[in-house]
Amino acid sequence: MQPVLQAIFDSILNGQQKVTAEKVSQALAERLEPVEILNQGMVGAMAEVGRLFEEGEYFVPEMLIAARAMQSGLAVLKPRLVQANFKPVARVAAGTVKGDLHDIGKNLVCMMLEGASFEILDLGSDVPAEKFVAAVTEQGANMICMSALLTTTMPNMRTTLEALKAAGVRDRVKVMVGGAPVTEGWAREIGADGYATDASRAVALARSLVV
Ligand code: B12
């Protein structure tokens, strides 16, 4: 790995917010591709944080400060991932489902979609089904992106799909799901329109769903 990418990786593992932001700026100044910085330096580091947590070397506070460092790096990267967009392709309501506070992956999906000319209504994290429904009925969203990082919150994706049906608006929206524990099979089982493993594939999927 390039030294600056290694430095970004290490600074996220160590939860150094300021260093992460500085090193991401440095990598951009060195003309590294934003997507390379993101995938190798940053997303790779979060996967390592997850591994350390599983092995009992990291605990929630370490995960939290690593996540903050990741967010500070993403703030620097965002303008380069999101280019000026013109006519929106679709209006996307995005959120992490009820009970789930993990928002880094959802934020990345939003950034990449925004860069691909989708209009984003970011509903945040811990989003109840009614809020997704209201985004469709009151704000005219025609696509929904639901993220879940916990096996215990995945069923809330199904709850949202059921609420959309109950409100009579299921056929007005395309529903995409994702997050580490989510699979293609799960997406099919709950009746979502699509699933993607990462933010770049989420863009390709979203494009295929709007045409
Ligand atoms: C950072 C982190 C946290 C932070 C979150 C901070 C934040 N603002 O997000 C904090 C410290 C708050 C946290 C808390 C908890 N966490 Co946590 N956390 C993580 C960690 C290390 C990284 C997650 C992350 O950001 N990954 C990086 C992003 C970029 O990846 P991603 O989210 O998967 O998103 C990508 C794709 O999945 C996809 N995608 C995501 N969303 C969507 C949506 C759509 C529509 C599409 C198409 C694609 C898509 O695209 C994204 C970009 O490529 C993971 C480990 C892991 N390997 O995932 C554990 C992990 C998810 N956490 C875990 C646990 C257990 C918890 C806690 C319960 C711990 C506790 N005892 O309190 C709490 C739960 C809090 C809650 N109610 O939500 C477990 C979950 C286990 C399980 N099977 O359910 C994991 C897997 C750790 C582990 N190995 O055990 N956590």
For the Cβ of 202 lying below 6 angstroms from any atom of ligand 1, the answer is yes
pLDDT tens-place string over residues 95-115:
999 999 999 999 989 988 887
* Among 159, 148, 144, 137, residue whose Cα is nearest residue 210: 144
CA of 138 to the centre of ligand 1 (A): 30
CA of 168 to the centre of ligand 1 (A): 32
CA of 211 to the centre of ligand 1 (A): 31
Question: Which residue lies with its CA nearest to atom 38 of ligand 1?
Answer: 198
For the Cβ of 181 lying below 6 angstroms from any atom of ligand 1, the answer is yes
CA of 83 to the centre of ligand 1 (A): 27
What is the C-alpha separation between 139 and 136, in angstroms, rounded?
Answer: 6
What is the C-alpha separation between 133 and 139, in angstroms, rounded?
Answer: 10
pTM equals: 0.89
pLDDT tens-place string over residues 30-45:
999 998 998 899 988 9
DSSP the chain: --HHHHHHHHHHHTT-HHHHHHHHHHHHHTT--HHHIIIIIIIHHHHHHHHHHHTTSS-HHHHHHHHHHHHHHHHHHHHHHS----S-S-EEEEEEETT----HHHHHHHHHHHHTT-EEEEEEEEE-HHHHHHHHHTT---EEEEE--STTTTHHHHHHHHHHHHTT-GGG-EEEEESTT--HHHHHHHT-SEE-SSHHHHHHHHHHHH-
Under-70 pLDDT residues of the chain: 83-87, 211
For the Cβ of 92 lying below 6 angstroms from any atom of ligand 1, the answer is no
